[in-house]
Amino acid sequence: VVMNPGYKQENLDLLNENLEKLNIKAEIFNSDIFQVVEKIAQKEPCYMCARMRRGVLYNKAQELGCNKIALGHHFEDVIETIMLNILYAGEYKTMMPKLKSVNFKGLELIRPFYYVHEEDIKAWVKHCDLKFLNCACSVTDGTIVYESKRKEIKELIESLKKVNKNVDINILRSSENVNLDSILGYKENGEKHLFLEDYDKED
């Protein structure tokens, strides 16, 4: 299935062209997400759009009796999310490679491109003579002016890589090597814990 969140006709034509080249038979179903986001979320359109699109996809998957949704997030999306959360949300959190849905029983979200680099995806797209759709929304066509924090973080990481070429992989590895002995606090199952809780128990 492919969701149409409100594409213009030229984007729908491009979508159908890509499906034909890949020999994929897909049902295109409509939603009014772009229209709703433009009305209610002009300050944070991308965040709201992503949440709404995921909700619609979960509902469609449940309707079809599916047990998994595969999203296309790649390696750079993952490390950018880590840095966005650190610098703008004040928490250490990343995208998970697979995640069981809390609100949609029996559904699991998976990210098969978790370790695949964006440049490799672009090379494959070029090799297959496909054309990216981008988001094809009001932000990408310039109707809504939005200062993307993700773009800012992407540029920051690229500048850091000029000094240390391993910066990107080290950002990801940091999420695999959290040292609980050297952090001020953490959350588990929604409950916050501070290092002082166990500090006196060590004596």
**C-alpha–C-alpha distance, residues 94 and 56, integer Å:** 23
Average pLDDT over residues 126-134: 86
Average pLDDT over residues 72-84: 96
Q: Which residue has the higher pLDDT, 57 or 200?
A: 57
- What pLDDT, on a 0 to 100 scale, did the predictor assign at position 110? 96
- pLDDT surpasses 70 at 189: yes
Least confident of 79-83, 121-125, 127-131, 135-139: 135-139
Write the CB contacts of 153 (distance below 8 Å, at least 6 apart in sequence). Answer: 80, 83, 84, 87
- What pLDDT, on a 0 to 100 scale, did the predictor assign at position 138? 63
Any alpha helices (H) in the chain, and if so which ranges? 9-21, 33-40, 45-64, 75-84, 118-127, 149-161, 167-174, 196-199
- Closest-CA residue to 15 (of 2, 6, 32, 29): 2
Average pLDDT over residues 60-70: 92
Beta pairing partners, 185 = 194
- pLDDT surpasses 70 at 172: yes
The continuous run of DSSP H or E covering 193 comes out as: strand 191-194
- pLDDT surpasses 70 at 117: yes
- What pLDDT, on a 0 to 100 scale, did the predictor assign at position 145? 55
pLDDT in tens, 20-52: 999 999 989 999 888 888 787 667 777 788 888
Average pLDDT over residues 87-104: 93
For residue 185, the tally of other CB atoms under 10 A from its CB is 10
- What pLDDT, on a 0 to 100 scale, did the predictor assign at position 35? 84
Phi, psi angle pair for 21, to nearest 5°:
-65, -35
| Highest mean pLDDT of the ranges 58-67, 153-162, 181-190 | 153-162
Task: Tell me the pTM.
Answer: 0.85
80 touches 150 (CB < 8 A): yes
